[in-house]
Structure 1
């Protein structure tokens, strides 16, 4: 029976170790994290689909990924370049990266290698796995469950779940925020004020962040929306 979610399962491949369904991802870009100092958000996009996944990474890994995206060759090889060169020298090929688990805000990944005779899988940080995959051309996959749990589907989030209009929605101070008015940028110093936003204001803020591709901050706003809807704040 058609459950209406077939588009989520486009570009799937079967796991070598079983029947695990996989969704292929591509690197979309990197943005600076507004929540965690010195961190960046790696944006992974579903190939042929609407989902985008933000992954918080460190500055070193962000630099390695950004250099490859821009086609910049450093004067001396970086760690990921050295790792790739070693693999080539010994005839070892990276066949895929698989983001197989998401737990407590952490993405878990594994690298699958082959020398033509043996195939082995090695655990890896997702940031390192992506940086190496970009240098080898290896595909990146995740599961449909992780995609829908951690990703943003732009088409769905553009709808107003409450069905109310901006003219009908006043905040606690009697102010009305126009639908096309861009919310003030959300920074760590403004975070406490988010708790006082109405659901309508939070949803408009969320959509604005998604439009600007500030996905990590959008994830924080989405969490506040869920807590408000559950009556926890």
Structure 2
């Protein structure tokens, strides 16, 4: 399977799920984005390493790194390897110089480890095709954007999306991406996928 290199583009609090964060990954030489909703503690572990903050005591992912190095294991790469029923799965590829070991992990943990070992992060074309969101279009109809983004309505976002045409969904998806509202964009993408 073709691997695509990813980079971390952003990490922001979730607007709809208290205590959750949207981690946005982007393909290295493209305009597709892969938003993943992660927990608060995992977001903290990622943010601490991105910002190069030294905690007073080692965090779990730092412990993993120390443990691996003590037994002469290195991490070679991380792959977001699967998407089942809207849930992402990842694999950590390790080696002791003689044999390679593959460890299943949550993407948030695998990414926190990738940052600590300074190794590349990948996904497969099939996953990016299914769950990726294309960024970059700027021609959205104001009425569709108004209904989804600006108008406070008692209906949930999912209810609003269900009543929109496929054309409007694509247009407001572009608006959400241009505003870097990746969690909202992920919900719009899921509605589009559901209809296909």
Tell me the TM-score normalised to structure 2 length.
0.85
Q: Does 1:207 align with 2:174?
A: yes
Cα distance in 2 for partners of 1:142, 1:106 equals 14
SS at match of 1:147: helix
* Aligned equivalent of 1:93, options 71, 74, 79: 74
1:185 deviation in Å? 7.2
Greater Rg over alpha carbons, structure: 1
The unaligned stretches of length 5 or more in structure 2 are none
The unaligned stretches of length 5 or more in structure 1 are 1-19, 167-175
Q: Does 1:110 align with 2:77?
A: no
2:149 — aligned with what? 183
Checking the alignment, whether the CA contact within 8 Å between 1:25 and 1:142 is kept in structure 2 is yes
How many aligned residue pairs are there? Answer: 195
Residues 91 and 61 from structure 1, CA distance in 2 versus in 1: closer, same or farther, beyond 3 angstroms? same
Tell me the TM-score normalised to structure 1 length.
0.73
Q: Structure 1 or 2: larger helix share?
A: 2
Alignment map for 1:158-197 (pairs within 5 Å)? 158=137, 166=141, 177=143, 183-184=149-150, 190-191=156-157, 192-197=159-164
Cα distance in 2 for partners of 1:33, 1:60 equals 13
Cα distance in 1 for partners of 2:45, 2:121 equals 17
2:60 — aligned with what? 79
* Aligned equivalent of 2:102, options 97, 121, 131: 121
What RMSD in Å do the two structures reach over aligned CA positions? 2.9
Checking the alignment, whether the CA contact within 8 Å between 1:101 and 1:108 is kept in structure 2 is yes
